[in-house]
Structure 1
Amino acid sequence: MMDFHCHLDLYPDARSVYAKAQQQMDFVWLVTTSPRAYVATSKVLPQTKSITVSPGLHPEVADQKAAELELLLVQIADSPAVGEVGLDGSARYRHSFDLQKRIFTAIVERSASLGGRVLSIHSRAAAKEVLDTLEQFPGFGTAVLHWFTDSVMLLRRADNLGCWFSVGPAMLNTANGRKIAAAIPRDRIVAESDGPFAKTDGKTVMPWEASNISSAMAGIWGMQTSTASDILINNGRELLSKIQKLQR
């Protein structure tokens, strides 16, 4: 089982979730929301063979955490995986959009200068601007668009850029989410939980439930659940190998 986007440190019982994930999961990408949160989380929930902890600066807190950008740019040098980063153009966060763009541009430029990183990217109501930024720095590495909800047209543009997509159970609860998932190239989709924020049937999605998308994707793809599961596992291994290569 693999989970390519999880705020594991933000579960109310984070230590026990971490322990269970370490026992049961082949891989969890623990994304953080700010550089200082990354420092604190790394001490309490340290990186292991199966759990990657990455520095990030979430666009929703850009106006609160902008002063930490320089710290993040230092952290990226020693971090093959970076996230959560990106842009949020929704009405609630539009006031900080220019600041978000400056921060995200600096992150992508830094990644390119270091030979590339694997980035877990938030793009709500801002996919065009995210892709514009990625196109400015061709050597940025690999983009994993987390819970992508924009248009199929922009998805095609992202596909042409070589982007990957992390999809979770909560995304597939919506008609638009299923429509987008159906358009994602089969060889570039991986499972995520986005816990503890994502919920299904009113319950928080746990890291080990990320793989529950297999049955939904099987229906979308018109195949057996076991076949869909194999595709997702193979995709996960390939994406994980990109992170591991950068650790050497």
Structure 2
Amino acid sequence: MPRKPTKEPSRKRSPLAWLRRWSLWTLITGALVMGAASLWHGFVAPPGPTFYMKQEARRLGQIAYVWTPIDDIAPVMARAAVAAEDANFCNHWGFDMRAIREVLERGGARGASTISQQTVKNVYLWHGRSWPRKALEAAMTPVVETAWSKRRIIEVYLNVAEFDEGIFGVGAAARHYFGVNAADLTDRQAARLAAILPDPKNRSASQPSDWVRKRAASIMDGAATIRRDGRAACFED
């Protein structure tokens, strides 16, 4: 009699293989969802507060945050932020490769994050250093750069950046530090707000240290320079 074919023993997937597959699926799904959201937010203001703002609101009890359209923000504030954080903002597609190479040559691991990357992190992701977050940030930054104008990116950035403990966005920051509307910020005030980034909890724009004063003076010069040489053209009318 012919022998009956024996069944192949079922292969059980190892927990590690399952975890890898699940992690990859989560990253892909998250990137697709956030990519769709970023396309929508090219026209509609991102919902506030962000994930990080909610965390801080729970920790502190409340936060100060009001969305301020870029037309209601003094133009020098955008120039100051770009001069301080990302002078080549108009010339890159989300990643400043020259800055990244310089950081790597110095042996550092931080300091090359663009305004586009920071905006993606602040709006859609969580704070802290982890590979999943960096992977999502790297995947989403080109999407935001493609879907949003540079003017839109700087508008959102100025509205979600943290300027003091529980103070989010330039509208709240202008009131908090100087008692003025964002539209009325002077060159010096804008430079001081930019100078406290990205460490606003340990720096003050209204009671600046000597270091903040010197950095603000440098930012004022940088803001004037990028206006003259055209590096502010992509986000100014």
Both proteins in one fold, TM over 0.5: no
What TM-score range do you get, normalising by the shorter chain?
under 0.3
User: Which structure would you say has the larger RCO, counting Cα contacts within 8 Å and 6 or more residues apart?
Assistant: 2
Query: Normalising by the residue count of structure 2, what TM-score does the alignment of the two structures yield?
Result: 0.28
Look at both structures and tell me which one has the larger radius of gyration over its CA atoms: 2
Q: Which one has a larger percent strand, Structure 1 or Structure 2?
A: 1
Query: Normalising by the residue count of structure 1, what TM-score does the alignment of the two structures yield?
Result: 0.27
